[in-house]
Amino acid sequence: MITRPDTHSKLLGYLLWIFGFLGSHRFYYGKPITGTIWFFTFGFFLIGWIIDFFLIPSMDEQADHRFHEGEINYSVGWLLLTFTGVFGLHRMYMGKWITGVIYLLTGGLFLIGLLYDFWTLNDQISERNRDVKFN
**Model confidence pLDDT, tens digit, residues 30-51:** 999 999 999 999 999 999 999 9
pLDDT of the residue at 74? 97
Cα dist from 124 to 14, 15, 41, 44, 51, whole Å = 22, 22, 27, 27, 28
Please say if the pLDDT value at position 132 is more than 80.
no
Secondary structure of residue 62 in the 3-state scheme: helix
Q: Please give the pLDDT value at position 66.
A: 95
Angstrom distance (rounded) from CA 36 to CA 96 = 25
Q: What's the pTM? A: 0.90
Number of neighbours of residue 40 by Cβ within 10 angstroms: 9
Q: Give the Cα separation of 135 and 126 in Å (integer).
A: 14
How much is the mean pLDDT over the chain? 93
Query: What pLDDT is recorded for position 135?
Result: 64
Q: How many CA atoms lie within 13 A of 93 on its CB side?
A: 20
Q: Is 110 exposed, middle or buried (0-12, 13-18, 19+ CB in 10 A)?
A: exposed
pLDDT for the residue 56: 98
pLDDT (mean) for 49-64? 97
